[in-house]
Structure 1
Amino acid sequence: MTRPARELPVVAVVGPTGSGKSDLGVELALRLDGEVVNADSMQFYRGMDIGTAKVTDEERRGVPHHLLDVLDVGEEASVADFQRAARACFAEIRSRGRVPVLVGGSGLYVRAALDVLELPGTDPAVRARIEQELAEQGPGALRERLRQVDPDSAARLRDDRRVVRALEVWELTGRPFTSFMPRREYVEPAVQIGLDGDRAELHDRLARRVDAMVRAGLEDEVRALAGRGLREGRTARRALGYGQFLDVVDGRATAAEAAEATVVATRQFARRQLTWFRADPRVHWLDRADPGLVDRAVEIVAQAAA
C-alpha cells in the first residue's frame, strides 16, 4: 500500500471466535504499519491465556499489542473504561504515524471504540442494592419495575444482569437505558473487516481448539486462577471454558464433561457473535479460508481511505 499510514482509517477485524481474527490483525498491522488494540474482553485478564487463545509473543511477530493483560481476574471489565483506553491507544498510535488495528469479537466493546456512543456511569452501591433485590424478590419484580419506568428496555432485555443495569442507569440518570444505545456512526474514520466461512468447518475448528486448550493445560490454568479470585470475578468467571473448568476444580464435573460443555457454549457464542456483527451493514465480510484474504483486506482498507 502506498498511502501513508496516517491517512488510513482505524481498521477493525471482527467476527466469531475461532475465525482467525488475531492472525489477520497481525498480518494487517505488518502490511499497513500498524499496531493492534485488543477488543476481546476476556483477553484483558492476566493469566487467562490458554482459554482465551491469547496471542503469544511469537504469534505477535513483533507487532505491538495493546490492552492485553490489563486486569486481574477479580476486577470487573467496564465498557466505559475500555472506550477511554481504546481511544487513547488510537491517539497514541496515530501520534507515531501508524495505523490502529482493533481486533476482537466482543461486539459492544468494538462499538464503544468505534462509534458515537454515550456510556452512562455506574455506582457500585446502587448496583449492589438492586442485585440484592433480585436475589430476594426474583427477576419478575425487577422486570415489572423496569416496565414502569422503561418499557422499551423491559421488552427488549432477556438477561437479568442487563435488567439490573437498566434499573441502575434509570436511578443514576433518570433516562431509559435505550436512550444510550449506540448509533451506527463512526467517531473517526474506520473500516470493519469481518471473517466468516463454512459453519460446519468453524464448528470443527472450535472443537479442535477446545481440545488443544485442554491438552495445553486449561484445567491447571483455571486451578491457578481460582486461587487468585476467579470465582469472585464478575466478568472473568463467565469466560468460555473457565466456568466449565471451575466445575472440575470444585468436583462438580469431569474434565471430559467440562470440555464438551465448553465446545457447546463456544459454538453458541460464535452464533451470537455472527448475529451481532451481521446486523451491522458497514462490515465488509471475507471468507477466512480465502488464500488471498490478506490482499483482499488490504484492498478494502485502501478503498475506504480513497
Structure 2
Amino acid sequence: MPDPRTGAGSAHAEGSPPVIAVVGPTGSGKSDLAVGLALELDGEVINADSMQFYRGMDIGTAKISMEERRGVPHHLLDTLDVTEEASVSDFQRQARAVIDAIHRRGKRAILAGGSGLYLRAALDVLEFPGTDPAIRRRLEHEAASEGEAGLRSRLERLDPVSAARLGDTRRVIRALEVYELTGRPFSSYMPTREYVRPTVQIGLEVDRDVLRARLAQRVHGMVENGLLEEVGRLESRGLRQGKTASRALGYAQFLKVLDGVSDVAEAAEETIVATRQFARRQLTWFRADPRIAWLDWQDPALLERAIAACR
C-alpha cells in the first residue's frame, strides 16, 4: 500500500540502505563522484538536475555522456521535450518510484544534481498543492494586463511570508493560485528538514576562485563543442515555447545570438556571469542544510572518504 506521505510503496520501509545524494554547485564534479560511488557500492544514479531532463540539451547542461557513465545505469535523464515544463511534483513521484525500484533490485540509489528543491522533493517530507489551469490563466492575464504590483499587493495581504520571499511574477502567480485552490498560504507548504527514508547527503566543498575559473573554461568548451548549433537544433524543435527549457543557462543567452541581438563572445560572457551567480545561489541553498557532510572536491582521497561516509 502506498505511503500517503511519499506516494511510494513500502519497499524502503524495511532493510533498505540509505539513499545517497551527491550535491553542490554546478561544475564541482557531482556526476563523476556519483559514478564512482555507484561502481564501488553497486549503485545506480538518479539525475536531480532539472535541465538534464530535456532531450537534446546535452552540451549546455554538461550532461554526462554514455562513456562517462562507465556502464552505471542512469535514471531520469532525457525524459522531457524542450516544449514541456519541468514539474517538481512530477519529479518527486518519479524519483521516489525509481529509488524503490533500485532498492528492490538490491542496489544503492544515488541522486546527483544541483537543483536544490528537486533534491528536497525526493528526499524530504514535502507536500505539493495541486494546480488549476483556469485560475492560473486568469492570474496570468491579470498580470499581463494590469502588471505585477496588484498581484503582489494581494499576496502581501494573504500570505506575507511568501510575498517577502518570492521574487518574480511567475512565483507570485503560483502562490496566489495555491491560496485560491486550497485556502492555505503557499508558505505553509515549505519543506521541513525531515527525510522520508534514511539518507546520506555528501556535499562537494569548492574553492570559489578555482570554481570561477573552471566555470569560465567550461562555458568556452561548450561553445567550442557546438553549443550554438545545439541551440539552433532545439530552436527548431520548439525551445522558445518551453517555459523552463528556454530559460536554461546558455540556451537563453545563445537564442539571442540566433536573433542577431548579440554575438557568440557576448553570449559566452553572459553565460559565464549567469553560471557563476547560479553557483553562488546553489552554495547558499546547500549551506543552509546542516545534514550535509562536506568533502573537499579536489581531495585525492575524495572517493574513499565519500564511501566511508555512505557506509
TM normalised by structure 1 equals: 0.96
Q: 2-side partners of 1:294 and 1:73: how far apart?
A: 34
- 1:77 correspondence with 2:93: no
Q: 2-side partners of 1:210 and 1:294: how far apart?
A: 26
8 Å contact 1:83–1:109 — kept in the other structure? Answer: yes
Q: What is the deviation of 1:128? A: 2.0
| Aligned counterpart in structure 1 of residue 262 of structure 2, from 245, 253, 257 | 253
Letter in 2 for 1:241: G
Q: How many residues align?
A: 297
- 1:149 correspondence with 2:158: yes
Query: Cα RMSD over matched residues?
Result: 0.8
Alignment partner of 1:170: what SS?
helix
The structure 1 segments of at least 4 consecutive aligned residues displaced by more than 4 Å after TM superposition are: none
Letter in 2 for 1:15: G
Q: What does residue 63 of structure 2 align with?
A: 54
8 Å contact 2:16–2:103 — kept in the other structure? Answer: no
Q: 2-side partners of 1:153 and 1:58: how far apart?
A: 44
For residues 149-228 of structure 1, the aligned pairs below 5 Å read 149-228=158-237
| Aligned counterpart in structure 1 of residue 288 of structure 2, from 279, 283, 291 | 279
Deviations 1:5-26 (A, max 9, x none): x652100000000000000010
Q: What is the deviation of 1:159? A: 2.1
Letter in 1 for 2:23: V
Letter in 2 for 1:172: L
Letter in 2 for 1:254: D
Unaligned regions of 5+ residues in structure 2, if any?
1-14
Unaligned regions of 5+ residues in structure 1, if any?
1-5
Q: What is the deviation of 1:149? A: 1.2
Q: 2-side partners of 1:197 and 1:180: how far apart?
A: 31
Q: 2-side partners of 1:169 and 1:142: how far apart?
A: 13
TM normalised by structure 2 equals: 0.94
Aligned residues: percent identity?
A: 69
- 1:242 correspondence with 2:251: yes
Q: What is the deviation of 1:147? A: 1.3
Q: What is the deviation of 1:125? A: 2.4
For residues 7-86 of structure 1, the aligned pairs below 5 Å read 7-86=16-95
Q: 2-side partners of 1:51 and 1:124: how far apart?
A: 31
Alignment partner of 2:109: what SS?
strand
Alignment partner of 1:35: what SS?
strand
Q: 2-side partners of 1:167 and 1:227: how far apart?
A: 34
Q: What does residue 3 of structure 1 align with?
A: none
Q: 2-side partners of 1:208 and 1:92: how far apart?
A: 38
